């Protein structure tokens, strides 16, 4: 239910706030006062297109905010949307839309920025807006089957639930069958593929860490000459000295220093620890020199070994590209492939069982779908009769309404049926899809009639009718008023109207009017008390000055509305 609405700098509206009640809320006023502007503002909250022309002249932005209490209506769907958008679930939603002069607009739900498409999706479960600029579930053919099934009641609901459960089970079985392969030849093909992959990995004889070892060995072989030169220089500096004898080896200098220190320690015993350290260092230096010499003797460049290592690295690289980013992952792939091969070898029997289960399930689904089709056709006949009767009361005596059935190509969780609502307003004309209806007055009355007979089944909580009384008068207006009153017993209804009969049925009545302030025209709104409401109804009746006669006429209209609502409620 739309509880509150605030509109700022939108068209002729500078700043207006509305508090709406449950039941029937009426917006009245002279032509051009801004009634439809209010409906347009609500449309922004439902994800309709925003334009810079909607911003009040001289302002940088327009702002619309609505407080919606959604209670039970569309609870699961709305909660799912909120969760997906990262918005905490709440029965009360604060929906806001801001339009800027650069053409950009920002939408928010409970303070969280959301795309406009989110408002449009969520709005489907909150509000149906009926008028020339429509947000109508009844004009979406994909919704017609849901509405028909909803009107059909518990029997259809039970069959639908059973079909949906069977469809989910069929999907699971098909997924399991698909994992085995679609046919025995497909399974054989997959077995061949797995066998090739396993053999390729096994024949490679991989070892954990082998790739790191190969990389290290390849680096040594590729730099063998450089390693020999570097270690030779190091050995010469440490032990051999230069070939020309000009450069003394480090080990010779160590030995000379050791002799000096040995003689000094004979004089001062405090130098003995230092002598020990020097002797230890000299021993380590000599050992290092010998190891360098041994390393050089083993070092050789072997092109054949280098080539073999590089070929091995290429083989491992190919396996990594195919089966995993590391040797460990490649080996794990081979283990999984072996498990899958074992499963596939035993899959013929499993596949036959699954195919039998799917076939049995589809036979049961077909039986349920045919039962569902019969119930739907019976329900459609009921709707057609009720709607045509209702349309006669709404000044469409020659209207025809049909539910067109076509068969889907595939059996789905909703059965075999696809439906679309068809309509003709005039005798001799073929029925056409509701989406082809052009007349705004006809659209509104058809929607009102449908909403009336579907009132108890339709879960959209708020219905908005923009001038549903356009182009009609007399007894037809009274019939429309009564239909709206009936509808408001199950839904919140907002109605823009010029009709006093409709306004008399209101539970809450706003009057919109223009006012000039500082040479600027503004739209104002007032929630009418009982006396103001009588005056507004008198204006709507004949537009003449208010006198005793006009007020008596208003009182009779109000009394008739009161009696109707009491009688219907009882």
Please state whether beta strands 462-466 and 492-496 pair in parallel, antiparallel, or not at all (unpaired).
parallel
- Residue 522 in any domain: the answer is yes
Please state the rounded mean pLDDT for residues 208-226: 86
In a domain, residue 5? The reply is yes
106-115, 307-316, 505-514: segment of lowest average pLDDT: 307-316
How many Cα atoms sit within 13 Å of 169 on the Cβ side? 16
Instruction: Determine the angle formed by the axes of helices 210-222 and 303-323, rounding to 10 degrees.
Output: 150
pLDDT for 183: 66
In order of 198, 346, 439, 501, 554, the CA distances from 482 in angstroms are 78, 70, 22, 9, 17
409 against 448, higher pLDDT: 409
Contact 558, 537 (CB under 8 A): yes
| H helices present in 400-529, as ranges | 440-453, 475-487, 500-504
User: HSE (CB half, 13 Å, CA atoms) of 225?
Assistant: 2
pLDDT of residue 455: 66
- Domain membership of residue 79 (yes or no) is yes
Tally of CB atoms within 10 A around 172 = 10
Whose tokens are 């008198």? That residue is 538
Specify the residue for token string 């991989």: 206
User: What is the pairing mode between strands 127-130 and 462-466?
Assistant: parallel
Count of domains observed in the chain: 1
Query: Where do the DSSP E strands lie in 30-120?
Result: 61-69, 92-100, 105-109, 112-114
Residue at 97 is within a domain: yes
What are the tens digits of pLDDT across the range 371-405?
999 999 999 999 999 888 888 888 788 889 999 99
Per this entry, what is the length of the chain? 570
For the record, the structure tokens of 515 come out as: 């006012």
Is the residue at 443 inside a domain? Answer: no
pLDDT at 137 over 70: no
Give 193 or 298, the one with higher predicted confidence. 193
- The range of the structural domain enclosing residue 16 comes to 1-126+461-528
Closest CA to 236 of 223, 226, 225, 251: 251
Which has the minimum average pLDDT: 33-42, 141-150, 335-344, 467-476?
Answer: 467-476
What's the pLDDT score for residue 466?
83
Residue 214, in any domain of the structure: no
Question: Which CATH number is 73's domain given?
Answer: 3.40.50.300
Closest to 352 in 3D by CA, of 191, 183, 188:
183
| Three-class secondary structure of residue 445 per DSSP | helix
Decide if 487 is inside a domain: yes
Select from 60, 63, 39, 35 the least CA-distant residue to 514. Answer: 35
> For residue range 499-529, what is the model confidence (pLDDT) as tens digits?
999 999 999 999 999 988 888 888 999 999 9
Residue 414 lies in a domain: no
pLDDT at position 135 is 44
Looking at per-residue confidence, does 415 or 187 come out higher?
Answer: 415
Locate 395 and state its tokens. 């000044």
Of residues 37, 43, 32, the one with CA closest to residue 13: 37
Query: What was the pLDDT predicted at 368?
Result: 93
Which structure tokens are listed for 565? 């609502």
Percent of the chain with pLDDT over 90: 39
């Amino acid at each position: 239910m739309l509880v509150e609405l605030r509109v700022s700098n939108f068209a002729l509206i500078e700043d207006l706030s509305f508090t709406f009640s449950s039941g029937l809320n009426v917006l009245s006023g002279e032509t051009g006062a801004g009634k439809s502007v209010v409906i347009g503002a609500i449309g922004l909250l439902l994800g309709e297109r925003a334009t810079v022309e909607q911003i009040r002249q001289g302002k940088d932005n327009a702002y619309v905010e609505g407080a919606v209490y959604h209670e039970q209506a569309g609870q699961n769907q709305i909660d799912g949307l909120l969760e997906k958008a990262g918005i905490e679930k709440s029965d009360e939603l604060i929906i806001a839309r801001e339009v800027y002069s650069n053409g950009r607009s920002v939408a928010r739900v409970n303070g969280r920025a959301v795309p406009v498409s989110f408002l449009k999706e969520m709005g489907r479960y909150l509000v149906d807006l009926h008028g020339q600029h429509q947000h109508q579930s009844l004009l979406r053919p994909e919704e017609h089957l849901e509405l028909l099934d909803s009107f059909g009641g518990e029997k259809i609901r039970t069959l639908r639930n059973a079909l949906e459960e069977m469809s989910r089970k069929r999907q699971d079985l098909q997924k399991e069958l698909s994992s085995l392969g679609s046919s025995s030849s497909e399974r054989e093909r997959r077995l061949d593929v797995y066998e090739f992959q396993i053999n390729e990995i096994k024949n490679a004889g991989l070892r954990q860490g082998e790739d790191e070892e190969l990389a290290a060995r390849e680096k040594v072989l590729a730099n063998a000459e450089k390693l020999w030169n570097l270690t030779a220089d190091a050995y010469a500096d440490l032990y051999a000295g230069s070939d020309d004898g000009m450069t003394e080896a480090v080990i010779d200098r160590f030995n000379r220093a050791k002799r000096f220190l040995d003689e000094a320690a004979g004089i001062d015993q405090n130098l003995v620890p230092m002598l020990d350290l020097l002797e230890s260092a000299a021993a380590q230096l000599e050992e290092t020199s010998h190891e360098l010499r041994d390393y050089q003797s083993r070092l050789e460049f072997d092109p054949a070994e280098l080539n073999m290592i590089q070929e091995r690295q290429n083989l491992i690289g190919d396996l990594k590209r195919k089966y995993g980013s590391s040797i460990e992952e490649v080996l794990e792939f081979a283990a999984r492939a072996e498990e899958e091969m074992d499963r596939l070898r035993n899959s013929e029997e499993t596949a036959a069982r699954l195919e039998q289960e799917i076939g049995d399930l589809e036979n049961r689904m077909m039986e349920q779908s045919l039962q569902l089709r019969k119930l739907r056709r019976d329900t459609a006949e009921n709707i057609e009769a009720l709607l045509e009767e209702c349309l006669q009361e709404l000044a469409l005596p020659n209207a025809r309404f049909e539910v067109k059935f076509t068969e889907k190509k595939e059996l789905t969780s909703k059965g075999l049926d696809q439906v679309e609502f068809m309509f003709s307003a005039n005798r001799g004309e073929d029925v056409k899809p509701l989406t082809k209806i052009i007349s705004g007055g006809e659209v509104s009355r058809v929607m009102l009639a449908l909403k009336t007979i579907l009132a108890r089944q339709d879960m959209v909580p708020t219905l908005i009718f923009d001038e549903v009384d356009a182009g009609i008068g007399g007894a037809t207006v009274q019939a429309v008023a009564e239909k709206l009153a009936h509808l408001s017993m199950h839904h919140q209804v907002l109605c823009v109207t010029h009709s006093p009969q409709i306004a008399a049925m209101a539970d809450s009545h706003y009057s919109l009017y223009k006012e000039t302030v500082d040479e600027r025209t503004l739209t104002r709104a007032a929630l009418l008390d009982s006396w103001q409401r009588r005056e507004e109804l008198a204006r709507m009746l004949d537009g003449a000055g208010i006198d005793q006669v006009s007020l008596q006429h208003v009182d009779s209209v109000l009394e008739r509305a009161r009696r109707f609502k009491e009688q219907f409620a009882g």
